[in-house]
């Protein structure tokens, strides 16, 4: 009997291991099946001819191009905001405040409070219902400041040679702003996590060697954060692509004007064209999948190249 | 030091890449922005034609409206756009938010499937003009080829095996279905047994097509629209919710009070409601249309208005014409003259589209040409006397003993003259009219002329309408009004009637709506009229 023990333990181990992995993956697998089923039924509902017909439609092409450009713009703008904000939040975190203000407890508390408040406010767009973001933007642009900005933007676009674009509200810039407002919050969160995971010591060493803060940021911190930046960009881009509520309220759903892919789905559905709505959904899914795969490939090539 | 130099050198390279990426992103943003703006076909249109009309449209009506928007844009070279679709209540809610927050570029006009919402919007001051467009009926719809045999609303709600849906009360169809169910005492089972209440009718219809529901209460026109959008029928009507046809959904178009281009919005409203332009699009999708006026880019109408209305209505009629994009040719004269003209006009193009008379006496003379008249106001005949002479005159009888220059209106040419004649010929003034007429300095065809002469000092006293004097606040300072305490003195009733032969009855109906709107009626009262008609008329 004692001789059998190692063999039986090994066998038991294999059995429990199999049980462990299968039970752990079971729920995830079900979710995976659900996603695949959703895509599958969409493809079942609309055939290839429908997709070709839709792609030949000038309005659908318009919404694809507009979606791609506005999402890219919103994502780039999000990165512009997310990188410095994420860095500030990561480097002026609880430990940093504790370390620097150890001798001044009151100031320490105040700094912690401010830091938490800022952190919370930056997360607000994530938890707000999308329609609220839209309504808030709409109301913001009715204030004297908003109207002034609207008029200035209209003048700027006229100067650029686009007098037909009447400012921001109910125009293409409204789409970008609506997408940016939500996407930036996600990008900031991602960048904050990225910088938090990067060891601060090389930056401190560079500082002790006489480098200035800006130089440390773009020569030491940023090169290490490029994967996080790509991830934040992808997340912001994908979030913008699926954005609908704020666009509905703030940019409207005018065909060939402020029509992005999510709007096309909505309009087709509202006009009783379910097939058209499904085809637009499929295009939306395809664009999103292509974007995600491209990003993954980029990240993988980074790994293979030995870069962090 | 060696380590630090190496590190610095390596990172210098990376740093420049990071910086370059940052700078490149600025260029990319600019390029993408330019590209996205260039996508808009009308982005380069000049500011001269930079006029856009935003349309909010109820989901159930969106298809014919979309077709008509395209046709109108093609015909007129305009930029109308459906910027928002949804349930009627949902849209009305957004418009109310925009109205309250002062949104400048919100809706110019909206098309709702709920006449109560349209009425409420008008009462709240959000909607200035409302055009009735079409009627639709609530039905119980099932998927085409379905085995469900549903006979009536009570049949639907009593069979628990049927999974059915109706919209929320925010959508017109939901409100209507509940009203019918309440009338038929089926509201509780209807609410209890329904599987879902979506926000608008199209969402519900789609659920029916996809098989999520067995039946749904939608518009008859929704079924038609969806069937026309497919190769073969996808839905069919199982039963009408209200077989008695007492309750139906009325689709209407409202022009918002805040619209920055009301004339163009109203022009589109006329285009939509015209039987020759909007009618076919609505009929195609099974709507029963409300007959509007035939389409004309700039309609031309002729109005005959009694001269007593000039101070209150002349400016408002002109504004109405400008706002509605209509050429209005109006004649403001004594009613006797107007009646004589009506009798003598041979050219139908010049015949008045509406007549607003100073008294029913004159309307009766031309009644055969007009629809049933509506009494709008009444007015008193008074003696208007130059202030310095006022102390010696108390009643018309006093005029016989005073050496005063009296002004009268011609009884054949004006209602005022005729009514004055009737008044001064009846008890207790018997035969007074002839004596005063003998003494009168002038006999004119309209009250305002007498008032002008009185003001200019040419007359000492005149028999006029109270409104003739009160219309101009400056006059009341120098002219005293002496009321005539006699039932015949307050007999003048002003009727409005639309011509039977007019090509623009709806336009005339809207003009009448403007006349009886509370602000206009307030002006009537300030001018000495007593109001008889209200907005409900």
Q: Does A73 touch chain B (CB under 8 A)?
A: yes
For residue A45, the chain B residue with the least C-alpha distance is B210
**CATH number at B298-537:** 3.40.190.290
How high is the pLDDT of residue B1?
A: 34
**Rounded CA separation B15/A223 (Å):** 7
Let me know if the fold of B47-132+250-289 is the same as that of B298-537.
yes
Say whether both A27 and A120 belong to one domain. no
Say whether both A108 and A74 belong to one domain. yes
Residue A290: which pLDDT band, with cuts at 50, 70 and 90?
A: confident
B382 touches B482 (CB < 8 A): yes
Q: What residues contact B439, with CB distance under 8 A and at least 6 apart? A: B399, B400, B404, B406
B193 touches B157 (CB < 8 A): yes
- Poorest-confidence range of A33-37, A222-226, B475-479, B493-497? B475-479
Residues 287-306 of A with CB under 8 A from B: none
Helix/strand/coil for A193: helix
Q: Which percentage of chain A shows pLDDT scores above 70?
A: 92
Name B129's bridge partners: B255
Closest C-alpha to A133, from A244, A14, A299: A244
How high is the pLDDT of residue A6?
A: 62
Say whether both A218 and A182 belong to one domain. yes
Output the six-digit token pair for B136: 């639709």
B342 touches B351 (CB < 8 A): yes
Exposure of A131 in the CB half-sphere (CA atoms within 13 A): 2
Beta-sheet strand order (sheet of B327-333): B327-333, B300-306, B354-356, B492-498, B374-379, B530-531
Query: Per-residue pLDDT tens for A179-195?
Result: 999 999 999 999 999 99
Q: Which residues in chain A are closer than 8 Å to B104, comparing Cβ atoms?
A: 142, 147, 169
For an interface test with A, the pick among B15, B101, B213 (most A C-beta atoms closer than 10 Å) comes out as B15
Other C-beta atoms within 10 Å of B405: how many? 18
How high is the pLDDT of residue B535?
A: 57
**Measured CA angle at B252 (ends B247, B253), to 5 deg:** 170
For residue A139, the chain B residue with the least C-alpha distance is B101
Residue A28 has pLDDT above 70, yes or no: yes
8 Å CB contact of B206 and A248: no
Domain that includes residue A18, residue range: 1-45
Name B109's bridge partners: B55, B255
Query: Per-residue pLDDT tens for A234-280?
Result: 889 999 999 998 998 888 877 778 889 998 888 877 776 777 888 88
Q: Does A281 touch chain B (CB under 8 A)?
A: no
Which DSSP letter does residue A221 get? I
Q: Which helix (H) or strand (E) holds B250?
A: strand B249-256
Say whether both A138 and A212 belong to one domain. yes
How high is the pLDDT of residue B2?
A: 36
Q: Which CATH number fits domain B138-247: 3.40.50.300, 3.60.60.10, 3.40.190.10, 3.10.20.600?
A: 3.40.190.10
- Indicate the angle between helix axes A58-91 and B2-39, nearest 10 degrees: 150
φ, ψ of residue B180 in degrees (nearest 5): -65, -45
Other C-beta atoms within 10 Å of A38: how many? 11
Query: Per-residue pLDDT tens for B297-318?
Result: 889 899 999 888 888 898 899 9
Q: How far is CA B189 from the centre of its chain?
A: 39
How high is the pLDDT of residue B368?
A: 93
Say whether both A18 and A92 belong to one domain. no
Residues 149-168 of A with CB under 8 A from B: 157-158, 160-167
**Rounded CA separation A237/A53 (Å):** 27
How high is the pLDDT of residue B302?
A: 92
**Measured CA angle at B307 (ends B305, B308), to 5 deg:** 105
Residue A113 has pLDDT above 80, yes or no: yes
**Rounded CA separation B460/B437 (Å):** 14
How many domains does chain A divide into?
Answer: 2
CB pairs under 8 A between A and B: 148
Say whether both A74 and A38 belong to one domain. no
Which DSSP letter does residue B527 get? T
How high is the pLDDT of residue B287?
A: 87
**Rounded CA separation B101/A271 (Å):** 29
**Rounded CA separation B201/B90 (Å):** 12
8 Å CB contact of A253 and B84: yes
Q: Which residues in chain A are closer than 8 Å to B83, comparing Cβ atoms?
A: 170, 252-254, 257-258
How high is the pLDDT of residue B3?
A: 36
Q: Which residues in chain A are closer than 8 Å to B82, comparing Cβ atoms?
A: 253-255
Say whether both A17 and A164 belong to one domain. no
For residue B223, the chain A residue with the least C-alpha distance is A272
**CATH number at B47-132+250-289:** 3.40.190.10
Name B327's bridge partners: B300
Q: Which residues in chain A are closer than 8 Å to B52, comparing Cβ atoms?
A: 166
Burial class (CB in 10 A: 0-12, 13-18, 19+), A214: exposed
Closest C-alpha to A153, from B38, B103, B33: B33
Query: Where exactly are the structural domains of chain B?
Result: 47-132+250-289, 138-247, 298-537
φ, ψ of residue B389 in degrees (nearest 5): -95, -10
Q: Which residue has the tokens 């095996």?
A: B161
Of residues A147, A169, A256, nearest to B41 (C-beta) = A256
Say whether both A152 and A70 belong to one domain. yes
Which DSSP letter does residue B252 get? E
Say whether both A215 and A280 belong to one domain. yes
Q: Does A76 touch chain B (CB under 8 A)?
A: yes
**Rounded CA separation B515/B496 (Å):** 10
8 Å CB contact of B34 and A135: no
**Rounded CA separation A75/A186 (Å):** 10
Name B219's bridge partners: B138
Closest C-alpha to B189, from B177, B201, B200: B177
* CATH number of the structural domain spanning residue A168: 1.10.3720.10
Q: Which residues of chain B have pLDDT under 70?
A: 1-16, 42-50, 104, 474-476, 533-537
Return the sign of the alpha-carbon dihedral for residues B200, B204, B207, B209: negative
Chain A: closest CA distance from residue B205 (Å) = 8
Chain B: closest CA distance from residue A308 (Å) = 13
Q: Does A60 touch chain B (CB under 8 A)?
A: no
């Amino acid at each position: 009997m004692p001789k059998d023990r190692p063999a039986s333990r090994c066998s038991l181990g294999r059995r429990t291991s199999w049980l462990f992995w299968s039970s752990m993956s079971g729920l995830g697998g079900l979710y995976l099946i659900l996603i695949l089923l959703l895509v599958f039924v969409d493809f079942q509902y609309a055939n290839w001819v429908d997709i070709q017909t839709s792609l030949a439609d000038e309005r659908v092409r318009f919404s694809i191009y507009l979606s791609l450009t506005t999402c890219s713009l919103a994502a780039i703008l999000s990165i512009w905001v997310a990188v410095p904000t994420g860095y500030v939040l990561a480097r002026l975190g609880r430990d940093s405040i504790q370390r620097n203000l150890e001798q001044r407890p009151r100031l320490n508390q105040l700094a912690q409070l401010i830091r938490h408040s800022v952190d919370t406010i930056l997360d607000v767009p994530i938890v707000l219902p999308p329609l609220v973001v839209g309504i808030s933007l709409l109301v913001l642009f009715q204030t004297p400041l908003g109207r002034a900005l609207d008029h200035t933007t209209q003048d700027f676009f006229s100067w650029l040679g686009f007098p037909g674009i009447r400012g921001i509200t109910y125009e293409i810039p409204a789409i970008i702003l609506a997408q940016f407002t939500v996407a930036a919050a996600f990008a900031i969160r991602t960048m904050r996590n990225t910088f938090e995971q990067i060891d601060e010591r090389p930056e401190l060493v560079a500082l002790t060697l006489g480098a200035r803060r800006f130089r440390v940021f773009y020569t030491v911190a940023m090169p290490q954060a490029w994967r996080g930046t790509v991830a934040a960009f992808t997340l912001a881009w994908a979030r913008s692509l699926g954005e609908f509520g704020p666009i509905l309220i703030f940019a409207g759903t005018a065909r060939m004007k402020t029509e992005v892919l999510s709007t096309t789905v909505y309009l087709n559905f509202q006009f009783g064209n379910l097939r058209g709505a499904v085809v637009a959904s499929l295009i939306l899914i395809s664009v999103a999948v292509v974007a995600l795969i491209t990003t993954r490939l980029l990240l993988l090539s980074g790994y293979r190249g030995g870069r962090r | 030091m060696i380590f630090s130099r190496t590190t610095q050198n390596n990172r210098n390279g990376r740093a420049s890449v990071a910086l370059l990426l940052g700078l490149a992103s600025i260029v990319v943003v600019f390029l993408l922005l330019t590209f996205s703006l260039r996508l808009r076909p009308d982005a380069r249109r000049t500011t001269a034609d930079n006029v856009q009309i935003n349309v909010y449209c109820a989901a159930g009506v969106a298809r014919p409206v979309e077709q008509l928007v395209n046709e109108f844009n093609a015909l007129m070279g305009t930029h109308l756009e459906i910027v928002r679709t949804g349930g009627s209540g949902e849209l009305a809610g957004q418009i109310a938010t925009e109205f309250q927050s002062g949104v400048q570029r919100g809706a110019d006009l909206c098309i709702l499937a709920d006449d109560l919402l349209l009425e409420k919007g008008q009462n709240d001051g959000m909607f200035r003009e409302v055009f009735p467009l079409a009627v639709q009926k609530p039905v119980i719809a099932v998927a085409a080829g379905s085995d469900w045999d549903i006979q009536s609303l009570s049949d639907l709600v009593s069979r628990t095996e049927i999974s059915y849906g109706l919209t929320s009360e925010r959508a017109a169809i939901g409100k209507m279905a509940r009203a019918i169910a309440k009338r038929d005492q089926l509201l509780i089972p209807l609410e209890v047994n329904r599987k879902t209440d979506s926000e608008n009718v199209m969402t519900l219809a789609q659920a029916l097509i996809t098989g999520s529901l067995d039946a749904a209460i939608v518009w008859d026109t929704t079924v038609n629209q969806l069937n026309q959008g497919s190769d073969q029928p996808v839905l069919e009507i199982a039963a009408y919710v209200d077989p008695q046809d007492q309750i139906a959904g009325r689709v209407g178009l409202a022009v918002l009070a805040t619209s920055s281009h009301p004339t163009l919005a109203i022009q589109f409203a006329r285009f939509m409601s015209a039987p020759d332009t909007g009618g076919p699009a609505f009929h195609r999708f099974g709507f029963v249309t409300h007959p509007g006026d035939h389409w004309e880019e700039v309609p031309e109408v002729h109005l005959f208005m009694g001269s007593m209305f000039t101070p209150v209505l002349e400016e408002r009629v002109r504004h109405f014409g400008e706002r509605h994009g209509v050429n209005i040719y109006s004649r403001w004269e004594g009613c006797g003259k107007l009646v004589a003209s009506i009798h003598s006009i041979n050219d139908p193009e010049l015949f008045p589209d509406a007549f607003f008379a100073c008294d029913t006496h004159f309307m009766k003379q031309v009644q055969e040409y007009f629809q049933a008249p509506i009494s709008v106001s009444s007015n008193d005949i008074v003696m208007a006397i130059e202030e310095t002479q006022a102390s010696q005159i108390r009643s018309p009888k006093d005029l016989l003993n005073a050496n005063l220059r009296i002004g009268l209106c011609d009884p054949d040419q004006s209602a005022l003259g005729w009514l004055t004649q009737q008044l001064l010929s009846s008890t207790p003034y018997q035969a007074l009219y002839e004596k005063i007429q003998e003494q009168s300095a002038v006999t004119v065809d309209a009250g305002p002329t007498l008032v002008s002469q009185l003001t200019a000092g040419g007359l000492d006293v005149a028999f006029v309408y109270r409104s003739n004097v009160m219309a101009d606040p400056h006059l009341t300072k120098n002219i005293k009004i002496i009321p005539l305490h006699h039932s015949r003195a307050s007999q003048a009733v002003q009727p409005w009637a639309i011509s039977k032969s007019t090509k623009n009855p709806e336009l005339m109906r809207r003009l009448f709506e403007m006349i009886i709107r509370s602000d206009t009626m307030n002006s009537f009262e300030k001018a000495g009229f007593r109001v008889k008609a209200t907005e409900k008329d």
